[in-house]
Structure 1
Amino acid sequence: MKSSHLFQPKLTALSALVFLSACTVGPDFKTPEASPSQHYDQQAEQHLGGQQRIALGQKVSGQWWSAFRSPKLDQVVRRAIDGNLELVAADATIRQASQSVAAAQGALYPQVDFGAMAGRQRVHNAKEPSISNFYAIGPRVGFDLDVFGGNKRLVEQQQAFTDLQTHRYEAAYLTLTGEVASQSLLIASANAQIQAVEKLLVNDTKNLELVRAALINGATTQIDVSLAETRLAQDRTLLPPLAQQRDAARHALSILTGKGPADWIAPDFHLDEFALPSNVPVSLPSELAHDRPDVRQAEAELHIASAAVGVATANLYPRVTLSASLAQAASGNGGAALWGFAAGLTAPIFTGGTLKAEQQAAVEGYNATLAGYQQTVISSFGQVADTLQAINHDAEEFLAQEDALQAAETSLRLNQQAYAQGENSILQVLEAERAYQQSLLGHIRVKTAQYLDTVQLFVALGGNSIGVFEQRVASREAPQRSYQ
């Protein structure tokens, strides 16, 4: 009975320590409240015109680039997702961060070590000095009760860091798909403009030949010949930049797919292979924070900062550890089993203000990160608003270019009819053709801007990229499960 009474206070103390171990100091992280705003730019939302309409309140679903209805684009995007080296690096970084979480979680469990020691010793304080062999072998167990949750906050911090890396992967995925679509459209635009410029150069050449013939016949002067030569030379300068745009875009696509420009050549794209999405889903501002990887990154960074406050706060409180050991030891011809059990407490008394300053620094770091998060959210709203306005202005410019192109086409037709009836010269027809080709170039450029700004809108809305890493992991594990 007596021994049971002696053991009762130990049980009470141990129960109290276990109860305290459930206490975790510091703030529990909560996702900041969503923005109450329901609009990005009401004027842009209400007046988006032309061929496109926005569906406010709807989210981008599936593979956003499929809205352009280009099988070639679908193939290149899939190739880029499978081969892009930045995604491969981001994937490995996430797995590295996951191992850091597992390492941090290990501190929540008892730590078991096994030790062995052997040696030879001489005893001097005996009646007769003696020399003997000795050894000790056995396990040792240590356990940090984590009374105030410092280790738990470290695990939380590492998990938030893993979330951060996951969202960085999603951001890289979003950037990649946006870049592939943009570069493909730039190839298509360059090809269309090169075709128009080549027709323009044919027209300039004919014009120069006619002026030179007129000079021989005495119907014009050398000034007109010089003007025609200057026009042809100036228009020839349009081709090299367009060819460079096309080739640079091809090389960019090769690199995006994880290949060198000589190892894989991107297909030729043409504008008539794309369709401009007529209805574009635009999620509400209150939902955008959940759809954009950069906002989710900022949220993960805020979570890391919150956990850091918990770690710094836990450092202000005592640490309680338990340890036990069991060893088989022997010296000379004698041996015995040795065991031990101990509880330890370490509490800061005076640190010169270091721990308190570290806690306050963590709090201020959280406040700074919170402001950064809020700025990221606001900037995302601005990016969507800017892109909506860009699409709106593209539509206005497209209508103006349509009118200019139709007017140039009408002028060309009338000049051709007048020439057939002998009412004007071939030079007037060629000038009308040249005006038409220049209007066509402007039409191609504004049409390209419509496509590119639509791509940017999909990217600004997050491109349905949240969760793509989990999909990658699932697709990677699916073949392994099929063989089991």
Structure 2
Amino acid sequence: MLTPHVSRRCALAGVLPGVMAAALLGACAVGPDFSRPAAPAVHAYTHEPLAATAVTADSKTQHFTPGAAVPFDWWRLFGSAQLDASVDEALAHNPTLEASEASLRESQDNLRAGYGVFFPQIDAQAEAVRERTSPVANGLTGQGTVFNLITASGTISYALDVFGGKRRTVEGLQAQADYQRYLTKAAYVTLTANVVNTTIAQAAYAAEIRATEQLIGLENQQLEITEAQVRAGTSAYASVLSVRSLIATNQASLAPLRQKFSEADHLLATLEGVFPSEASLPEIDLSSLSLPKDLPVSLPSELVRQRPDILSAEAQLHVASASIGVATAAMFPSISLSGTYGAGGRSFGNLSTDSFRFWSIGPSVTIPLFQGGSLWYGRKAAIDAYQQSLANYRQTVLAAFEQVADALKALEYDAQALEAQAEAQRDAVGALSLLQASYRAGTVGYLDVLVADVQLHQTTIAYLQAVAQRHQDTVALFVALGGGWWNGQDEASGGQRP
């Protein structure tokens, strides 16, 4: 683990004078050398072990496989070609992802520009002016003269990176490029998760709308029966009013469901980079989405090397570390070599004459003697910024482990809740069928049918919500483990795993 104290690779810094010191210090770089934080020494995500390596609900089983690889295209495990197409469309046209990729290219170009400090700087100057001298300005008497002055020269300079300030600067640019790279990966993971989660939610809303409409149709049939019984004198008119009230209540519940469905539709269009009015999105049935059966559970020691938010926090820590070196190097002398060669005269013909040529060559040293404490406190501020980045890194790691623990426990509880909801729905369907038959036979009152009707509606909606929740918590697990981006084709072909 990096400490904020200054470490030097060469103990002779500041001891040997002149050129000898510069030669010996050529490989030195003041400031701390960055080392990656060690992985947390924990072996599990939750305080209590998982109840089982597999969870089953509604005849669907999910298996947890410790150490298994997280697929980079995990959304394909849901078995929907339409969902796959939506994700591909979002990855190709989402503006947020495009902006992140542009920022990555910017940081990479800044890094390439930063490497220029390691090369000599060569400049050429040319100047042609017409001047009038003023002897009085120099304490002389006489008339001023008017003449032409033409100058052409070239300058080459090279800054000796004796104390490594420039190397630390480039190191910081490299870390900044890494930071932006991991932000781009985080945007990729977030985008895919948002598309899948929104698709699941939209499918769940559509299923709830259909279930409510079916229930309203069933209640309309019951209304016809009740009206017939009222006409026959076997039932009170209050029963008709009760059925109508229930139908109106269920119809009122359709409006917010349809609103949520529309909002999900608009969000999907936005994620795919198109206007909602121009989107042509497929409707995916909730029952057509397969529940992923085999779920990877990365080892805790691997999590900090694959989650892009942790890696971006690590890159920020590296930037802060390099900044300490830059601030430390600013407290030491800076040495540069420069040379100038040129010619000047009153006409272009003079430029080729030896007597009009000039040149200079030599080193220059700038030694910071007194800066009012700005350099000292600038270094202390850099150390404070490093401590802040270190605390932010630790918090990011803690939050990541929390998310994995939440996802694992959620899948366990989702299975329990879904199994209970499935059983409740089966019982509600059976109870309503029996009571409807008894009501037609005149052996029970309609109040009993109304109670069973409402119960079926509630259990159906709760069942659909439980199914959607289990799917979305499965998505949450893949995202909490990092999204598998390092197993992608682009990483396998050109990139390296961090």
Length-normalised TM-score, structure 2: 0.86
1:139 touches 1:327 (CA, 8 Å); kept in 2?
A: yes
1:140 touches 1:323 (CA, 8 Å); kept in 2?
A: yes
Counterpart in 1 of 2:274? 259
Q: Which of 192, 199, 211 is the equivalent residue of 1:177? A: 192
2:70 touches 2:487 (CA, 8 Å); kept in 1?
A: no
Moved more, 32-41 or 432-441: 432-441
How far off is 1:406 after superposition? Answer: 2.2
Q: Which of 19, 43, 46 is the equivalent residue of 1:41? A: 46
1:19-168 alignment runs, 5 A limit: 19-41=24-46, 43=48, 45-47=50-52, 49-50=55-56, 51-120=61-130, 132-168=147-183
1:370-409 alignment runs, 5 A limit: 370-409=390-429
**1:464 matched to 2:470:** no
| Residues 84, 363 of structure 1: alpha-carbon distance in 2 compared, 3 angstrom cutoff | same
Moved more, 317-326 or 434-443: 434-443
How far off is 1:16 after superposition? Answer: 4.4
**C-alpha distance in structure 1 between counterparts of 2:388 and 2:21, whole Å:** 38
Q: Which of 203, 211, 225 is the equivalent residue of 2:218? A: 203
1:183 touches 1:249 (CA, 8 Å); kept in 2?
A: yes
| 2:161 alignment partner, SS class | coil
How far off is 1:15 after superposition? Answer: 6.0
How far off is 1:133 after superposition? Answer: 3.5
| Residues 300, 468 of structure 1: alpha-carbon distance in 2 compared, 3 angstrom cutoff | farther
* Matching residue's letter, 1:355: L
1:167 touches 1:466 (CA, 8 Å); kept in 2?
A: no
1:44 touches 1:389 (CA, 8 Å); kept in 2?
A: no
Moved more, 16-25 or 356-365: 16-25
How far off is 1:356 after superposition? Answer: 0.8
Percent of matched pairs sharing the same residue: 34
Counterpart in 1 of 2:14? none
* Matching residue's letter, 1:283: S
| Residues 394, 38 of structure 1: alpha-carbon distance in 2 compared, 3 angstrom cutoff | same
| 2:358 alignment partner, SS class | strand
**C-alpha distance in structure 2 between counterparts of 1:203 and 1:312, whole Å:** 76
| Residues 260, 473 of structure 1: alpha-carbon distance in 2 compared, 3 angstrom cutoff | farther
* Matching residue's letter, 1:153: R
1:203 touches 1:434 (CA, 8 Å); kept in 2?
A: no
Structure 1 residue runs without a partner (length 5+): 1-11, 476-484
How far off is 1:419 after superposition? Answer: 7.4
**C-alpha distance in structure 2 between counterparts of 1:368 and 1:193, whole Å:** 48
Moved more, 215-224 or 341-350: 215-224
| 1:52 alignment partner, SS class | strand
| 1:291 alignment partner, SS class | coil
Counterpart in 2 of 1:295? 310
Q: Kindly report the root-mean-square deviation, in angstroms, between the aligned alpha carbons of the 2 structures.
A: 2.8
- Deviations along 1:235-265, whole A, 9 cap, x unmatched? 1122112111211111111110110011122
Counterpart in 1 of 2:356? 336
1:309-328 alignment runs, 5 A limit: 309-328=324-343
2:200 touches 2:286 (CA, 8 Å); kept in 1?
A: yes
**C-alpha distance in structure 1 between counterparts of 2:246 and 2:49, whole Å:** 41
| 1:290 alignment partner, SS class | coil
Counterpart in 2 of 1:3? none
Moved more, 387-396 or 326-335: 326-335
How far off is 1:440 after superposition? Answer: 2.4
**1:354 matched to 2:374:** yes
Counterpart in 2 of 1:249? 264
How far off is 1:209 after superposition? Answer: 2.5
How far off is 1:375 after superposition? Answer: 0.8
**C-alpha distance in structure 1 between counterparts of 2:171 and 2:393, whole Å:** 19
How far off is 1:408 after superposition? Answer: 2.3
**C-alpha distance in structure 1 between counterparts of 2:47 and 2:412, whole Å:** 12
**C-alpha distance in structure 2 between counterparts of 1:396 and 1:170, whole Å:** 34
* Matching residue's letter, 1:49: V
| 2:305 alignment partner, SS class | helix
* Matching residue's letter, 2:96: E
How far off is 1:149 after superposition? Answer: 1.0
| 1:262 alignment partner, SS class | helix
1:215 touches 1:222 (CA, 8 Å); kept in 2?
A: yes
How far off is 1:62 after superposition? Answer: 2.9
**C-alpha distance in structure 2 between counterparts of 1:228 and 1:46, whole Å:** 45
Moved more, 65-74 or 119-128: 119-128
* Matching residue's letter, 1:347: I
| Residues 90, 190 of structure 1: alpha-carbon distance in 2 compared, 3 angstrom cutoff | same
How far off is 1:34 after superposition? Answer: 0.5
Counterpart in 1 of 2:234? 219
| 1:37 alignment partner, SS class | coil
Moved more, 446-455 or 203-212: 203-212
2:72 touches 2:487 (CA, 8 Å); kept in 1?
A: no
**C-alpha distance in structure 2 between counterparts of 1:365 and 1:284, whole Å:** 31
* Matching residue's letter, 1:337: R
**C-alpha distance in structure 1 between counterparts of 2:345 and 2:20, whole Å:** 36
| Residues 205, 397 of structure 1: alpha-carbon distance in 2 compared, 3 angstrom cutoff | same
* Matching residue's letter, 1:360: K
Length-normalised TM-score, structure 1: 0.88
How far off is 1:104 after superposition? Answer: 1.8
- Deviations along 1:207-227, whole A, 9 cap, x unmatched? 222223322332222332222
**C-alpha distance in structure 2 between counterparts of 1:129 and 1:226, whole Å:** 113
| Residues 129, 356 of structure 1: alpha-carbon distance in 2 compared, 3 angstrom cutoff | closer
How far off is 1:311 after superposition? Answer: 0.6
| Residues 199, 128 of structure 1: alpha-carbon distance in 2 compared, 3 angstrom cutoff | closer
Counterpart in 1 of 2:4? none
